[in-house]
Amino acid sequence: MNGWNADEMMTVAAARQLRRGAVCFVGIGLPSTAANLARATHAPDVVLIYESGCLGAKPSRLPLSIGDGMLADTAVAVVSVPEVFNYWLQPGRIDVGFLAAAQLDRFGNINTTVIGPYDAPKVRLPGAGGAPEIAASCQEVVVVVRQSPRSFVERVDFVTSVGFGQGAGDRAKLGLRGNGPRVVITDIGMLEPDPTTCELTLTHLHPGATISQARAATGWELAVAADVHETPAPTDEELAHLRRLNATIDK
Protein backbone atom coordinates (compact mmCIF):
# COMPACT_ATOMS: atom_id res chain seq x y z
CA MET A 1 0.00 0.00 0.00
CA ASN A 2 1.15 3.55 -0.71
CA GLY A 3 2.26 5.91 2.05
CA TRP A 4 -0.29 7.41 4.36
CA ASN A 5 -0.91 11.00 5.43
CA ALA A 6 -1.35 12.58 8.86
CA ASP A 7 -5.16 12.58 8.71
CA GLU A 8 -5.15 8.88 7.90
CA MET A 9 -2.79 8.14 10.78
CA MET A 10 -4.98 10.14 13.19
CA THR A 11 -8.15 8.45 12.01
CA VAL A 12 -6.65 4.96 12.26
CA ALA A 13 -5.23 5.71 15.72
CA ALA A 14 -8.66 6.96 16.83
CA ALA A 15 -10.42 3.89 15.42
CA ARG A 16 -8.08 1.61 17.34
CA GLN A 17 -9.22 3.23 20.60
CA LEU A 18 -12.64 1.65 20.21
CA ARG A 19 -12.83 -1.80 21.70
CA ARG A 20 -15.37 -4.37 20.59
CA GLY A 21 -18.89 -3.59 21.71
CA ALA A 22 -18.04 -0.07 22.86
CA VAL A 23 -20.89 2.43 22.85
CA CYS A 24 -19.55 5.53 21.21
CA PHE A 25 -20.90 9.10 20.93
CA VAL A 26 -19.69 10.36 17.57
CA GLY A 27 -19.52 13.83 16.14
CA ILE A 28 -19.20 14.53 12.45
CA GLY A 29 -15.92 14.54 10.55
CA LEU A 30 -12.94 12.57 11.77
CA PRO A 31 -14.73 10.99 14.77
CA SER A 32 -17.50 9.62 12.58
CA THR A 33 -14.94 8.33 10.10
CA ALA A 34 -12.90 6.69 12.88
CA ALA A 35 -15.91 5.03 14.47
CA ASN A 36 -17.07 3.66 11.14
CA LEU A 37 -13.54 2.47 10.40
CA ALA A 38 -13.54 0.56 13.70
CA ARG A 39 -16.89 -0.93 12.70
CA ALA A 40 -15.44 -2.00 9.34
CA THR A 41 -12.30 -3.53 10.87
CA HIS A 42 -11.68 -4.82 14.42
CA ALA A 43 -14.93 -3.81 16.15
CA PRO A 44 -17.93 -4.68 13.95
CA ASP A 45 -20.25 -4.48 16.95
CA VAL A 46 -19.30 -0.96 18.06
CA VAL A 47 -22.49 1.01 18.81
CA LEU A 48 -22.64 4.45 17.24
CA ILE A 49 -24.71 7.17 18.92
CA TYR A 50 -25.28 10.37 16.94
CA GLU A 51 -26.48 13.44 18.82
CA SER A 52 -29.37 13.81 16.38
CA GLY A 53 -30.96 10.95 18.34
CA CYS A 54 -29.87 8.00 16.19
CA LEU A 55 -28.92 5.13 18.51
CA GLY A 56 -26.98 2.25 16.98
CA ALA A 57 -26.74 3.73 13.48
CA LYS A 58 -24.99 1.55 10.89
CA PRO A 59 -24.36 3.84 7.95
CA SER A 60 -23.06 2.20 4.80
CA ARG A 61 -21.43 5.44 3.71
CA LEU A 62 -20.08 8.39 5.67
CA PRO A 63 -22.70 11.02 6.46
CA LEU A 64 -21.95 14.71 5.81
CA SER A 65 -23.97 15.81 8.84
CA ILE A 66 -24.93 14.15 12.13
CA GLY A 67 -28.53 14.18 10.94
CA ASP A 68 -28.40 12.56 7.51
CA GLY A 69 -31.46 10.40 6.81
CA MET A 70 -29.34 7.27 6.40
CA LEU A 71 -28.47 7.43 10.11
CA ALA A 72 -32.14 7.29 11.08
CA ASP A 73 -32.83 4.57 8.50
CA THR A 74 -30.13 2.28 9.91
CA ALA A 75 -30.53 3.06 13.64
CA VAL A 76 -31.89 0.63 16.23
CA ALA A 77 -33.87 3.52 17.68
CA VAL A 78 -34.37 7.17 16.82
CA VAL A 79 -35.08 9.35 19.85
CA SER A 80 -35.63 13.06 20.43
CA VAL A 81 -32.74 15.36 21.22
CA PRO A 82 -33.76 15.88 24.88
CA GLU A 83 -33.86 12.10 25.23
CA VAL A 84 -30.44 11.46 23.71
CA PHE A 85 -28.83 13.86 26.18
CA ASN A 86 -30.98 13.18 29.26
CA TYR A 87 -31.57 9.43 29.11
CA TRP A 88 -28.53 8.18 27.21
CA LEU A 89 -25.58 10.51 27.73
CA GLN A 90 -26.20 12.03 31.17
CA PRO A 91 -26.53 8.79 33.21
CA GLY A 92 -23.23 7.43 31.84
CA ARG A 93 -24.58 4.92 29.31
CA ILE A 94 -22.01 5.96 26.70
CA ASP A 95 -18.51 4.46 26.94
CA VAL A 96 -16.48 6.69 24.65
CA GLY A 97 -16.95 10.23 23.39
CA PHE A 98 -14.85 11.69 20.61
CA LEU A 99 -14.13 15.41 20.74
CA ALA A 100 -12.30 17.86 18.52
CA ALA A 101 -10.71 21.10 19.70
CA ALA A 102 -9.64 24.46 18.32
CA GLN A 103 -7.52 24.93 21.45
CA LEU A 104 -6.49 22.50 24.16
CA ASP A 105 -4.40 22.99 27.31
CA ARG A 106 -2.13 20.65 29.28
CA PHE A 107 -5.08 19.36 31.29
CA GLY A 108 -7.16 18.56 28.24
CA ASN A 109 -9.59 21.45 28.63
CA ILE A 110 -11.08 22.31 25.25
CA ASN A 111 -12.08 25.51 23.50
CA THR A 112 -14.44 25.42 20.51
CA THR A 113 -16.12 28.78 21.19
CA VAL A 114 -13.94 31.82 20.40
CA ILE A 115 -10.34 32.73 19.70
CA GLY A 116 -9.55 35.96 21.52
CA PRO A 117 -11.68 37.75 24.11
CA TYR A 118 -15.28 36.52 24.35
CA ASP A 119 -16.77 39.99 23.87
CA ALA A 120 -14.55 40.91 20.92
CA PRO A 121 -13.49 37.61 19.38
CA LYS A 122 -10.80 37.39 16.73
CA VAL A 123 -12.45 34.23 15.43
CA ARG A 124 -15.97 33.14 16.23
CA LEU A 125 -16.07 29.32 16.30
CA PRO A 126 -19.25 27.21 16.15
CA GLY A 127 -19.53 26.83 19.93
CA ALA A 128 -20.37 24.05 22.33
CA GLY A 129 -22.86 21.72 20.68
CA GLY A 130 -22.93 18.46 22.58
CA ALA A 131 -19.31 18.67 23.70
CA PRO A 132 -19.56 19.97 27.32
CA GLU A 133 -21.81 17.10 28.39
CA ILE A 134 -19.94 14.54 26.29
CA ALA A 135 -16.79 15.65 28.13
CA ALA A 136 -18.64 15.46 31.45
CA SER A 137 -20.58 12.23 31.18
CA CYS A 138 -19.00 9.74 28.76
CA GLN A 139 -17.00 7.10 30.61
CA GLU A 140 -13.95 8.26 28.72
CA VAL A 141 -13.07 10.83 26.09
CA VAL A 142 -10.80 10.61 23.07
CA VAL A 143 -9.67 13.99 21.77
CA VAL A 144 -8.48 14.30 18.18
CA VAL A 145 -6.68 17.52 17.28
CA ARG A 146 -3.80 18.68 15.11
CA GLN A 147 -0.86 19.68 17.25
CA SER A 148 0.61 23.17 16.82
CA PRO A 149 1.51 26.10 19.07
CA ARG A 150 -1.82 27.66 18.03
CA SER A 151 -3.90 24.67 19.15
CA PHE A 152 -1.79 23.41 22.08
CA VAL A 153 -1.86 26.50 24.27
CA GLU A 154 -0.79 27.35 27.80
CA ARG A 155 -4.27 28.69 28.50
CA VAL A 156 -7.37 28.20 26.37
CA ASP A 157 -9.22 31.44 25.53
CA PHE A 158 -12.51 29.86 26.63
CA VAL A 159 -13.29 26.63 28.46
CA THR A 160 -16.06 25.07 26.38
CA SER A 161 -15.55 21.52 27.64
CA VAL A 162 -13.69 20.41 30.74
CA GLY A 163 -10.84 17.91 30.67
CA PHE A 164 -9.17 17.83 34.09
CA GLY A 165 -9.79 21.48 35.02
CA GLN A 166 -6.75 22.74 36.92
CA GLY A 167 -5.48 19.23 37.61
CA ALA A 168 -6.01 16.10 39.66
CA GLY A 169 -9.22 16.00 41.69
CA ASP A 170 -10.96 18.81 39.84
CA ARG A 171 -13.36 16.56 37.96
CA ALA A 172 -14.74 15.12 41.19
CA LYS A 173 -15.03 18.60 42.71
CA LEU A 174 -16.98 19.79 39.67
CA GLY A 175 -19.33 16.81 39.82
CA LEU A 176 -18.19 15.44 36.46
CA ARG A 177 -18.93 11.74 36.52
CA GLY A 178 -17.00 10.46 33.51
CA ASN A 179 -13.28 9.82 33.70
CA GLY A 180 -12.29 12.57 31.30
CA PRO A 181 -9.77 12.41 28.45
CA ARG A 182 -8.07 9.03 28.15
CA VAL A 183 -5.96 9.95 25.15
CA VAL A 184 -5.31 12.90 22.87
CA ILE A 185 -4.48 11.87 19.32
CA THR A 186 -2.60 14.35 17.15
CA ASP A 187 -0.87 14.32 13.79
CA ILE A 188 2.43 13.85 15.65
CA GLY A 189 1.61 11.26 18.30
CA MET A 190 -0.54 10.52 21.30
CA LEU A 191 -0.71 12.05 24.78
CA GLU A 192 -2.19 10.46 27.88
CA PRO A 193 -2.94 12.01 31.26
CA ASP A 194 -0.33 11.36 33.94
CA PRO A 195 -1.94 8.96 36.47
CA THR A 196 -1.07 11.29 39.37
CA THR A 197 -1.13 14.86 38.05
CA CYS A 198 -3.51 14.38 35.08
CA GLU A 199 -1.13 16.48 32.95
CA LEU A 200 -1.09 15.34 29.33
CA THR A 201 2.11 13.44 28.65
CA LEU A 202 3.52 12.38 25.30
CA THR A 203 3.44 8.58 25.26
CA HIS A 204 3.44 7.72 21.55
CA LEU A 205 4.99 9.15 18.41
CA HIS A 206 3.64 8.28 14.99
CA PRO A 207 6.21 6.73 12.62
CA GLY A 208 8.69 9.37 11.50
CA ALA A 209 7.78 11.94 14.17
CA THR A 210 10.27 13.11 16.81
CA ILE A 211 10.08 14.35 20.38
CA SER A 212 11.60 17.70 19.42
CA GLN A 213 8.91 18.07 16.75
CA ALA A 214 6.25 17.39 19.40
CA ARG A 215 7.85 19.92 21.76
CA ALA A 216 7.99 22.56 19.04
CA ALA A 217 4.29 22.03 18.33
CA THR A 218 3.29 22.52 21.97
CA GLY A 219 2.67 25.91 23.58
CA TRP A 220 3.74 24.73 27.03
CA GLU A 221 6.67 22.74 28.44
CA LEU A 222 5.58 19.33 27.16
CA ALA A 223 5.79 16.39 29.55
CA VAL A 224 7.32 13.35 27.85
CA ALA A 225 7.01 9.79 29.14
CA ALA A 226 10.21 7.96 30.10
CA ASP A 227 9.39 5.38 27.47
CA VAL A 228 7.82 6.80 24.30
CA HIS A 229 6.39 4.14 21.99
CA GLU A 230 6.01 4.26 18.25
CA THR A 231 2.41 4.08 17.03
CA PRO A 232 2.10 1.12 14.67
CA ALA A 233 1.71 2.49 11.13
CA PRO A 234 -1.70 2.03 9.48
CA THR A 235 -1.98 -1.47 8.06
CA ASP A 236 -2.90 -2.14 4.45
CA GLU A 237 -6.28 -3.36 5.62
CA GLU A 238 -6.95 -0.25 7.72
CA LEU A 239 -5.93 2.04 4.88
CA ALA A 240 -8.01 0.18 2.32
CA HIS A 241 -11.14 0.41 4.49
CA LEU A 242 -10.47 4.04 5.37
CA ARG A 243 -10.02 5.09 1.74
CA ARG A 244 -13.11 3.18 0.71
CA LEU A 245 -15.11 4.94 3.46
CA ASN A 246 -13.73 8.37 2.60
CA ALA A 247 -14.80 7.90 -1.00
CA THR A 248 -18.42 7.56 0.16
CA ILE A 249 -18.89 10.95 1.86
CA ASP A 250 -21.79 12.89 0.43
CA LYS A 251 -22.50 10.44 -2.36
Partner 1 sequence: MAEIVTLSEAVAATVNDGDVVAMEGFTHLIPFAAGHEVIRQRRRGLTLVRMTPDLIYDQLIGMGCARKLVFSWGGNPGVGSLHRFRDAVTSGWPLPLEVEEHSHAGMANRYVAGASGLPFATLRGYSGTDLRDQTANVASVTCPFTGEILTAVRALNPDVAIVHAQRADRAGNVQMWGIVGVQKEAVLAASRSVVTVEEIVDELEPVPGQVVLPSWAVSFVSLAPHGAQPSYAHGYYERDNDFYVSWDEISRDRVAFTDWMQRHVLEAEVAR
Catalytic positions, please? 51
Counting contacts by CB under 8 A, is residue 172 touching partner 1?
no
- Which of these, 188, 146, 144, lies nearest to 11 by C-alpha position? 144
What DSSP line would sit under 190-244, residue for residue? EEEE-TTT--EEEEEE-TT--HHHHHHT-SS--EEEEEEEEPPPPPHHHHHHHHH
Identified binder of partner 1 from the candidate list 31, 63, 108, 181, rule CB under 8 A: 63
Give how far Cα 249 sits from Cα of 101, 130, 239, Å: 22, 22, 16
Identified binder of partner 1 from the candidate list 103, 113, 147, 186, rule CB under 8 A: 113
Counting contacts by CB under 8 A, is residue 100 touching partner 1?
no
CB nearer to partner 1: give 30 or 191.
30
Counting contacts by CB under 8 A, is residue 56 touching partner 1?
no
- Piece of the chain touching partner 1 by CB under 8 A; list 97-105, 115-123, 212-220, 237-245: 115-123
- What distance in Å separates the CA atoms of residue 245 and residue 241, rounded to the nearest whole number? 6
- End-to-end alpha-carbon separation of the chain, Å? 25
What character string, x for contact with partner 1 (CB under 8 A) and - otherwise, covers 134-163? --xx--------------------xxxxx-
Counting contacts by CB under 8 A, is residue 81 touching partner 1?
yes
CA 212 remoteness from chain centre: 24
Contact 144, 30 (CB under 8 A): yes
Identified binder of partner 1 from the candidate list 176, 202, 209, 239, rule CB under 8 A: 176
- Which of these, 217, 236, 69, 223, lies nearest to 148 by C-alpha position? 217
- Piece of the chain touching partner 1 by CB under 8 A; list 40-48, 72-80, 144-152, 235-243: 72-80
Q: Which residues contact partner 1 (rule: CB under 8 A)? A: 28-29, 51-54, 63-69, 71-72, 77-78, 80-82, 85-86, 89-90, 113, 118, 121-124, 126-133, 136-137, 158-162, 165, 170, 174-177, 250
